[in-house]
Amino acid sequence: MSNLRIDLDRLMGRIQRLGQVGALEGGGVCRLALTEEDKAGRDLVVGWMKELGLEVSVDRIGNVIGVRAGEVEGPPVTTGSHIDTVATGGLYDGNLGVLAGLEVIETLNEAGVTTRHPLAVGFFTNEEGARFAPDMMGSGVHQGALSLEACLATEGIDGTTVGNDLVRIGYAGETPVGEFCARAFIELHVEQGPVLEEEGTEIGAVTGVQGISWTEYSISGVSNHAGTTPMRLRHDAGYVAAAIATFARRIARDMGGDQVATSGVIELEPNLVNVIARRAKVTVDLRNTDESLLQEAEQRMAARVLELAGEEGVEITARSLARFQPVDFDAGMVDLVAETAAGLGHSVRRMPSGAGHDAQMFAPNCPAAMIFVPSKDGISHNVREYTAPQEIAAGANVLLRVMLSAASS
Ligand code: HGY
Ligand code: MN
Ligand code: MN
């Protein structure tokens, strides 16, 4: 079995084929969670799961898991990721992990290999959190970290709820959530950052995921004339939104280290050149590998928001959209990834993940880890996202071997 390798052409073919679903002009994909495009992507992948002989189930939050029997019964060695994307998504974020999992299954089918323990490949609902917050919603419910009821009732950025959209796209499954036990969980994912490429390293053995804090601020001011209103009389929601966004950047600059901050959404109302905005919405995404530093960043933000409300005479309400503490992966699994990569002759380094991933939801419940492959120019959440085929082959072969090791012990 040691000379088993995945079929790169077949894997690239599936990546390209799935990339046609929700394809954007000029490249990239848009398959926001629970949209028609997401449904079409789900249907395509479920079809492939069935062709490979997997036992497919859909749970109450729309997670789809395909299981391949082992010699013995019991919790499967599980891999997977997500196939929902952001609106300016690439071909690889999430998709690679799911399709490489299917490629592992097909490689074993072709070789007539039955592993001692069962294997499973899954895709998890709404990993991105871009349409319905928080991110990692499906895997969070699947592994008991998030409430099914609360997530089904969650209203998205365009007014529908998760529960209604699951019914609408035909993925409101019957399988209960929170009962699936994995023997181990391993996820292949593009790094989405510059580290591996800058160092010329082929594989990342991911040690954990940094903490994530998403907050939406709704600001209520007073509409007025941009020309006639003296500055001392203004209650400018637009100015406050901009001040929050620039202060978030300042927190990252002042704290340094691993602290990052992003304002990805700024909406003004009425959003007209000569009208002082009466309402505004701005999001702040703060992340840090260290929980106490992440809390410090949150406290700095909250204090400035309070000041701004007083200075400008506006009302500001904060709504938490996501809050996940940093997660450490299982040291034994991380070692297995690093040793397997080195054993296959690939350069490898240990590193944390800047992005959230489904694997972090499995980490409290079973040995979990991730395999990173390089992202060209460190780009992701961008239609230019790219990973070279030979890098994909390296990652998928490491996945194959890690799953075989974990399923044979
Ligand atoms: O935001 C994230 O970290 C991931 O892309 N959901
Ligand atoms: Mn992802
Ligand atoms: Mn993503």
What is the full DSSP assignment across 89-147?
B-SSTTHHHHHHHHHHHHHHHHHT---SS-EEEEE-TTSS-SSSSSTTHHHHHHTTSS-
CA 371 vs CA 115, 131, 400: distances in Å: 21, 27, 11
Query: Is residue 127 within 6 Å of ligand 1 at its C-beta?
Result: yes
This prediction has a pTM of 0.96
CB 143 within 8 A of CB 357: no
Ligand approaching nearest to the C-alpha of 90: 3
Give the distance (Å) from ligand 3 centre to CA of residue 84.
9
- Alpha helix stretches (DSSP H) within 221-362: 237-255, 291-312, 331-343, 359-362
What confidence score (pLDDT) does residue 409 get? 79
Burial class of 304 by CB neighbour count within 10 A (0 to 12, 13 to 18, 19+): middle
What confidence score (pLDDT) does residue 79 get? 98
Question: Tokens standing for 49?
Answer: 């799961």
Q: What is the DSSP letter of 233?
A: G
Query: Is residue 358 within 6 Å of ligand 1 at its C-beta?
Result: no
Burial class of 33 by CB neighbour count within 10 A (0 to 12, 13 to 18, 19+): buried
Residue with tokens 């499973």: 120
Question: Tokens standing for 211?
Answer: 């903490």
Distance CA 140, CA 124 (A): 9
**Cβ contacts of 105 within 8 Å, gap of 6 or more:** 52, 54, 66, 68, 119, 121
Question: Tokens standing for 394?
Answer: 């390296």
CB 357 within 8 A of CB 187: yes
**Cβ contacts of 385 within 8 Å, gap of 6 or more:** 28, 89, 90, 91, 92, 93, 190, 192, 375, 376, 379
Q: What is the chain's pLDDT, residue by residue, as a tens digit (409 residues)?
A: 778 999 999 999 999 999 999 999 989 999 999 999 999 999 999 999 999 999 999 999 999 999 999 999 999 999 999 999 999 999 999 999 999 999 999 999 999 999 999 999 999 999 999 999 999 999 999 999 999 999 999 999 999 999 999 999 999 999 999 889 999 999 999 999 999 999 999 999 999 999 999 999 999 999 999 999 999 999 999 999 999 999 999 999 999 999 999 999 999 999 999 999 999 999 999 999 999 999 999 999 999 999 999 999 999 999 999 999 999 999 999 999 999 999 999 999 999 999 999 999 999 999 999 999 999 999 999 999 999 999 999 999 999 999 999 999 7
Distance CA 353, CA 115 (A): 30
Distance CA 379, CA 383 (A): 9
Residues with CB under 5 A from ligand 3 (ion): 93
Residue with tokens 């406050």: 240
Burial class of 196 by CB neighbour count within 10 A (0 to 12, 13 to 18, 19+): buried
Give the distance (Å) from ligand 3 centre to CA of residue 353.
12
Q: Specify the pairing of strand 279-288 against strand 211-220.
A: antiparallel
Which of 135, 187, 285, 381 has most ligand 1 atoms within 8 Å of its beta carbon, as the pocket-test mutant?
135
* % helix, strand, coil for the chain, step of 5: 35, 25, 40
205 CB neighbour count, 10 Å cutoff? 24
72 CB neighbour count, 10 Å cutoff? 9
What confidence score (pLDDT) does residue 1 get? 72
Gyration radius of the chain's alpha carbons: 22
Distance CA 357, CA 388 (A): 21
Q: Interior CA angle at 34 toward 77 and 129, to 5°?
A: 75
Query: Is residue 356 within 6 Å of ligand 1 at its C-beta?
Result: yes
Atom of ligand 1 nearest to the CA of 127: 6
Taking alpha carbons only, the member of 347, 372, 348 closest to residue 359 is: 372
Distance CA 218, CA 5 (A): 52
Give the distance (Å) from ligand 3 centre to CA of residue 86.
7
> Ligand 1 atom 6: the closest Cα is on which residue?
128
Question: Tokens standing for 301?
Answer: 């933000």
Ligand approaching nearest to the C-alpha of 93: 2
Give all strands (DSSP E) within 82-201, no chain letters. Answer: 119-123, 184-190
Relative orientation angle of helices 389-408 and 95-111, to the nearest 10 degrees: 60
Q: Quick one: how many helices (H) and strands (E) in the chain? A: 12, 16
The number of C-alpha atoms within 13 Å of 250 and in the hemisphere containing its C-beta is 9
Query: Is residue 135 within 6 Å of ligand 1 at its C-beta?
Result: yes
- Amino acid (1-letter code) at residue 105: I
What confidence score (pLDDT) does residue 36 get? 98
Which of 127, 258, 353 has most ligand 1 atoms within 8 Å of its beta carbon, as the pocket-test mutant?
127
Element (H, E) at 320: strand 315-324
What confidence score (pLDDT) does residue 276 get? 98
Element (H, E) at 322: strand 315-324
